[in-house]
Chains A and B, each alone.
Chain A
Amino acid sequence: MSALRDTQPEELPPGTAGEQPAVVLCPGGPMLLRGHHVIEDEDGTRHETVRPVSAVCRCGKSASKPWCDGTHKLLPRKLRP
């Protein structure tokens, strides 16, 4: 009996299989956006992403819209996204 024959085929390291989501909705927080995107806001103004991952405001209260500035953390839980 060879130990080699008993070995299971090697699995991929955990968390490294499958496609990485380009959009992630954070509970109670922003929407994360991976990669380069141009966002058009309510007024038709275009905003270009400048970092590998951007956080888009979902609570509507950010002072840096369309980007998240952490303001959701100051809202009562029921007003968070």
Chain B
Amino acid sequence: MTMLPKPRGELSAAFFEALRSWDDGPVTAVDVAPESAEDAAITLWASHELSYRGFDDVDDGAEWEPALLAVRRELERELESRLRQRWPGAPQGRDVVEHFFDWVAEQDGPSLARHVQTTATTEQVLDLLRMRSVYHLKEADPTAWVVPRLPMAAQAALMELQFDEYGNGDPARLHTGLFARGIAACGLRPEQGAYVDEAPLEVLEQNNTLSMFGLHRRLRGAALGHLAAFEATSSLPSRRMAQGLERLGMAPEMIAYYTEHVEADAVHEQLAVRTICGSLLAEEPEQAPEIWFGAFTCLDLEDRLAHRLLEVWEVAA
């Protein structure tokens, strides 16, 4: 059973109530200001969730209710404008395909994987896995929405990567499934959104950004830039995660998830930058700044989460 999360303020309380009571008819506008950034973020998260797998306490028809979509749109506007304000702009004189890996290497943020590798306690790793589960149990889903919005060559390129994410036709190999098996073996709950009530603002923002990038055709370049940055920062950190989990004697299924990503993402990062972003740019060169925007946003949101968790764990960043 997947139920609506706990409200975190007046807006989410009103919005969730409107969702629960929706019954195939127009609803009156939810005209409530968010009480806090977390209140806004959990509202947007639940709104996006209606477009994934929904909630058992909400009718499926509520997804396209205009009064409820109006709330989603307003919260997305605020989120996008906040993300664009954080972005310093596209790096000057840099070509996406040629310089992407160099640019990623120059970005310097705290690494949660390094902390897990060397010093994290089992409690901290379980904490991190609960936070990661909000994203990893969806993994490739928001990017799947981008496929029909791309030119042909880019569609083929993206599907080549996505096919691997979705297990190459084998339900036992889906990356989301590997993660679910891993956290279940660690004694955690493997259902979608199981730990969203514990998720801090930074986790909600990461997930909301990805969903927004995936759902808006206008943001297709940002979605692929985000994908490229995510893949380009996954292979080496996944090795560190696997080593940290081994150090702590954690479940082999969870270690296997990270080991799989060492090799898978060494492929995916090349595909994401060269064939996926490359073929989008071949036909839509004006998307280059958007690719950089998505890439920056991916790394920036991860930095913010790393700072937050290291602070909670009282580790120097």
Instruction: Spot the interface stretch: A3-11, A27-35, A38-46.
Output: A27-35
A-contact bits for B270-284, CB 8 A (1 contact / 0 none): 110010000100110
| A52→B266 contact, CB < 8 A | no
Q: How far does the alpha carbon of A16 sit from the alpha carbon of B275 in the complex, in Å?
A: 12
Q: How far does the alpha carbon of A8 sit from the alpha carbon of B129 in the complex, in Å?
A: 57
Q: How far does the alpha carbon of A51 sit from the alpha carbon of B267 in the complex, in Å?
A: 9
Q: A residues within 8 A CB of B279? A: 15
Q: How far does the alpha carbon of A26 sit from the alpha carbon of B154 in the complex, in Å?
A: 18
Q: Is A37 an interface residue (CB 8 A)?
A: no
Q: How large is the interface on B (under 10, 10 to 19, 20 to 34, 35 or more residues)?
A: 20 to 34
B-contact bits for A43-70, CB 8 A (1 contact / 0 none): 0000000111111000000011001111
| B283→A14 contact, CB < 8 A | yes
* Minimum CB distance partner of B153 in chain A: A15
| B153→A14 contact, CB < 8 A | yes
| B153→A55 contact, CB < 8 A | no
Question: Which of A14, A50, A51, A68 has the most chain B CB atoms closer than 10 A to its own CB?
Answer: A51
Given A63-B239, A64-B262, A67-B263, A55 and B270 touching (CB < 8 A)?
yes
Given A51-B264, A67-B263, A15 and B236 touching (CB < 8 A)?
no
Q: Is A1 an interface residue (CB 8 A)?
A: no
Q: How far does the alpha carbon of A67 sit from the alpha carbon of B238 in the complex, in Å?
A: 15
Q: B residues within 8 A CB of A52? A: 160, 163-164, 168
* Residues of chain B from 257 to 315 with CB closer than 8 A to chain A in the complex: 262-267, 269-271, 274, 279, 282-283
Q: B residues within 8 A CB of A50? A: 168
Q: B residues within 8 A CB of A32? A: 267, 270-271
Q: Is A22 an interface residue (CB 8 A)?
A: no
Interface positions of A (Cβ within 8 A of B): 13-16, 24, 26, 28-30, 32, 50-55, 63-64, 67-71, 73-74
Interface positions of B (Cβ within 8 A of A): 101, 105, 151-154, 156, 160, 163-164, 168, 235-236, 239, 262-267, 269-271, 274, 279, 282-283
| Given A54-B267, A70-B265; 18 other pairs, CB 8 A cutoff | A13-B152, A14-B152, A14-B153, A15-B154, A15-B279, A26-B270, A28-B101, A32-B270, A50-B168, A51-B168, A53-B267, A55-B263, A55-B266, A55-B267, A68-B235, A68-B266, A69-B235, A69-B239
